[in-house]
Amino acid sequence: METHYAALGVPEDASADEIKRAYQALVLQLHPDKQNAAINPSADAADRFLKIQRAWETLKDVDQRRQYDAELKDRSQKYIGPIDADVDIDEMQYDEDTRSFVFPCRCGGLYVATEANLEVRNDVAPCSTCSLRIRVLYSIE
């Protein structure tokens, strides 16, 4: 499911100004009045424009955006199966280049927990090759 942020082409931590600029640029490009049906007959452009409008209506309001962000976080943390193990972050190897912590899986793959995910309390890391997942144990300082 495409998020409002993806519809506007901005990251989830985008500022209000960045969201506004992205919205304005997309409106100039996709507004129905700007489309020439004889040259470019596209129902996809109309659908895309409506998605952009919905995204803007939600993200421009501070309270609606806060609620939407909470809903996104809840969706991402829904129960999707068992956790294979709890692993302390001190047992994981830190990769400076990717800013992530890695831990070997018994299948030969790697569990990867990025700093960005851990900062927003997303502490479940899937294996890169199998369906196992671990919970990363850590504390925020």
- Asked if the model's pLDDT at residue 128 lies above 80, the reply is yes
Two tokens at 7? Answer: 């519809």
With bands split at pLDDT 50, 70 and 90, how would you rate the model's confidence at 11?
very high
* Longest CA pairwise span in the chain (Å): 62
| Residues with Cβ within 8 Å of residue 23, at least 6 apart in sequence | 8, 52, 55, 56, 60
Express as a percent the part of the chain with pLDDT over 90: 50
- Asked if the model's pLDDT at residue 101 lies above 90, the reply is yes
Two tokens at 81? Answer: 């199966």
Nearest Cα to Cα of residue 8 among 62, 60, 85, 43: 60
d(CA 118, CA 71): 18
H or E segment at 100? strand 100-104
- Mean model confidence pLDDT for the chain: 85
Among 25-39, 64-78, 91-105, whose mean pLDDT is lowest? Answer: 25-39
Query: Tell me: the pLDDT tens digits for 23-43?
Result: 999 988 887 766 655 555 566
| Residues with Cβ within 8 Å of residue 92, at least 6 apart in sequence | 101, 102, 103, 111, 113, 136
What domains can you pick out in the chain, each with its CATH number? 4-76 (1.10.287.110), 85-137 (3.10.660.10)
